[in-house]
Structure 1
Amino acid sequence: MSRFLSIIFLCCLPAWLWAGENYRFRVYLKDKGDGGYRVEEPEAYLSKQAIERRTKNNIAVTTADFPISRSYINMLSETGVKPVVESKWFSTVVVESADSTVVGQLQQLSIVDSVKWIWKGNLKVPAEETGEERFVSTDKPQDREYGYAEKQIRMLNGIKLHEAGFQGEGMRVAVIDAGFMNADRISAFDSLRLLGTYNIVFPGKSVFVGDDHGTKVLSCLAADIPGVMVGTAPKASYLLLKSEDSDSEYPIEEDYWTAAVEYADSAGVDVISSSLGYFSFDADELSYDQSALDGKTAMISRAASLAADRGILVFCSAGNEGNGDWEKITFPSDAAGIFTVGAIDEDKKKSSFSSVGFTADSRVKPDAVALGTGSCVIGPNGNIRYANGTSFATPILAGMGVCLWQSLPWLNNREVIRLMNRSSNRYKHPNKEFGYGIPDFYKAYKKERKNGLRSK
């Protein structure tokens, strides 16, 4: 793989070795300094696929695509802090220290614009498992090709798109989640086309331990056991990224997620599917209010939009706050230029937990809905489960979006979003619960294929 994979997170240090409670601060830099990279030579940092995506979409490589100068990172370190993770797009570096008064020293540096407290605690590293146990499904195969997952794919008219020959071949998909427990040992993923993995929270540690949320999400996309479960994009290639610290909820989650998105961009993915969302944090004073749901306020939402600006098709879950006091969509699902997914049940009624729109600036969100009540997933033991959440509606729909884009390669990411919206059953009358409704992916394919071929 290209050089960027070996250098993109050189600033990540083993913070889990520290004892006691520590603080993490987001340091906003005035600029990024000169890291030695040139827009005329993007291949020195970006992967071949990332450059090709930009070229295809007439997107210029800029200095925003390159990392922060190592000299700047060293200047921060000289104050006694430990760099944790950085954002090339926002010119920020998260640093850690057991001494909260270090903020004063940081603010005196000529390269620093401001400093914000975003986390305190002590990270708990998930135990590594060394067992060789294989997890083979014991579920009884059904007569139907898609097995227990058939209804969630049929609801989107996705089976016909698969039968037309589009199951995600050649498409590169990043899944950003909390962890993919046992996904490396589950038979349903034996055919998984794995591009790579990266643990943003614990650099150097496996993504296959600690949390199984991403395992279930991944199964909706990539499972391939005929008669038991077939995902919506079983032939796509996948990059698995862990960005969630499951033990606490602080704004640093936005920095982890942003770093994951930047990593995925540099790796050259076409699509991102993320079933993570935030609004409330363990420290109340750091939480958001609903006026921030404008796509421009939260760091994580701005990062999602920047990914879209670089030609990536981004799918995000709307959130599961429909029954709660918050009720609304969560961040980054308010971002402009991305596709936000809500949840419905098999009767095509809104799942009670599914977060609702609109955004604070009155844009339609969610964009569309898919089955999120009683979704078929594969758990960490390799067997079928049924789960509830926009977390699962999102990859179910995202996988079909992958296949649709595969079938219509002349479209860009924003055109694919418009096509999915236009093919949905409430397109003319969107609302805050369903957005534009349930997409019909085969209908979208047929209509656009005819138009595309006619224009050639």
Structure 2
Amino acid sequence: MTVQLSNFQTLQSINYGVSLINAPTLWKHGFKGEGINIAVIDSGIDKEHDELKYQIIDGYNFSSENASQPKNISDKLGHGTHVAGIIAASNKNGIIGIAPQAKLLILKVIDGNGVGDSNALLKALNFAIDWVGPNGETIDVINLSLGGREDDPSLRNAVHRAYSKNIFIVAAAGNSGDGKEDTDEILYPGYYEQVIQVSAINESLSPVAFDDTNKNIDFLAPGVEIQSTYPNNSYFKMSGTSMAAPHISGSIALILNFFKVQNIPISYQRVYQYLVDHSIQIKDYSFKTQGHGIFYFQESR
């Protein structure tokens, strides 16, 4: 398959996504994603980036690029590095992710041309589901800012396997929208009901024309001109549902951190309901565009 990635944008201003999600509401109580492990299945990472190098717990290359080097997770595209920063940038030089104390398992499936295949994605997904870290760690969340148009039974089975283990898969809805709510655009695995499918809003809290729309959209999150980490220890702005999904992945990490510290039993349904309860629907937009609405940490709920 050819994965759908975000459009590159010029750097203009700082990222507003952290504020829009209102992550500092949990940060001030000490919940920053500590003890939570997130698999980022993407184009790799700049593993020497100041904001990310201490966040990486492991990595593996499933792409055709440098195929003989299974530990080579270098990012020639920039997409994976950008996504990783939205989740867990450490604020060394002024960029902070939603869950800056979470750890990242980097699984590379996309090459420098933005292309991957379904076999690599399936291998990476199963690897993440079964991964055990050096101290017995396991994966809590899988971020997939990519997808394909084919409904693959093997991919569906992997999603079910993750769901059965309370591993949250968060996926980008896709960037092929036509701006019309009466048409559907479907990207897998995001469309599967056991995957949390995320569309993008801009800084004005409006869905954007490139968003895919369908009946299984779950939430909206910031996805337009998001500043984050980029290869060569730099920073860049990008737009797309690819940028929206990691805002939700990072948010789940904060929720899981909160639940664990408070000894709240963790289940997929309980965490999903927390997301629903802290989302705000936008007037005049249907469920096919916004799902449960804009996710926002609310102090009083």
Q: Same fold (TM over 0.5)?
A: yes
How many residue pairs get aligned? The number is 275
1:196 aligned onto 2:52? no
CA distance in 1, matches of 2:110, 2:93: 33
Q: 1:177 to 1:366 in 2, by over 3 A?
A: same
Does the aligned pair in 1 maintain the 2:278–2:298 contact within 8 Å?
Answer: no
The within-5 A match list for 1:152-231 is 152-180=17-45, 183-192=46-55, 194-201=56-63, 202=67, 204-205=69-70, 206-225=72-91, 228-231=94-97
Shift in Å, 1:247 = 5.1
Which amino acid counterpart does residue 157 of structure 1 have in structure 2? N
Please state whether the residue corresponding to 1:354 is helix, strand or coil. Answer: coil
Does the aligned pair in 2 maintain the 1:316–1:341 contact within 8 Å?
Answer: yes
Calculate percent identity across the aligned residue pairs: 25
Deviations 1:114-172 (A, max 9, x none): xxxx99xxxxxxxxxxxxxxxxxxx9xxxxxxx923x2112112111111111110111
Shift in Å, 1:298 = 4.7
Relative to structure 2, which stretch is displaced further, 343-352 or 382-391?
382-391
Corresponding residue number in structure 2 for 1:266: 130
Which amino acid counterpart does residue 278 of structure 2 have in structure 1? S
* RMSD value, Cα: 2.7
CA distance in 2, matches of 1:246, 1:331: 21
Shift in Å, 1:412 = 1.3
Which amino acid counterpart does residue 176 of structure 1 have in structure 2? I
Deviations 1:316-372 (A, max 9, x none): 1111111399851311111122211110000011111111111xxxxxx21101110
CA distance in 2, matches of 1:305, 1:336: 10
Runs of 4+ in 1 over 6 A off after TM superposition: none
TM-score normalised by the chain length of structure 2: 0.82
Corresponding residue number in structure 2 for 1:109: none
Corresponding residue number in structure 2 for 1:63: none
Q: 1:154 to 1:442 in 2, by over 3 A?
A: same
Does the aligned pair in 1 maintain the 2:140–2:167 contact within 8 Å?
Answer: yes
CA distance in 1, matches of 2:37, 2:114: 31
CA distance in 1, matches of 2:157, 2:211: 23
Does the aligned pair in 2 maintain the 1:298–1:331 contact within 8 Å?
Answer: no
The within-5 A match list for 1:408-427 is 408-409=259-260, 410-426=265-281
Which amino acid counterpart does residue 239 of structure 1 have in structure 2? L
Corresponding residue number in structure 1 for 2:5: none
Shift in Å, 1:184 = 1.7
What stretches of structure 2 of length at least 5 have no aligned partner? 3-10, 132-137
Relative to structure 2, which stretch is displaced further, 366-375 or 204-213?
204-213
Shift in Å, 1:179 = 2.3
Match of 1:355 among 212, 231, 239: 212
Corresponding residue number in structure 1 for 2:201: 344
The within-5 A match list for 1:52-91 is none
Return the structure number with greater relative CO, CA threshold 8 A, min gap 6.
Answer: 2
1:431 aligned onto 2:293? no
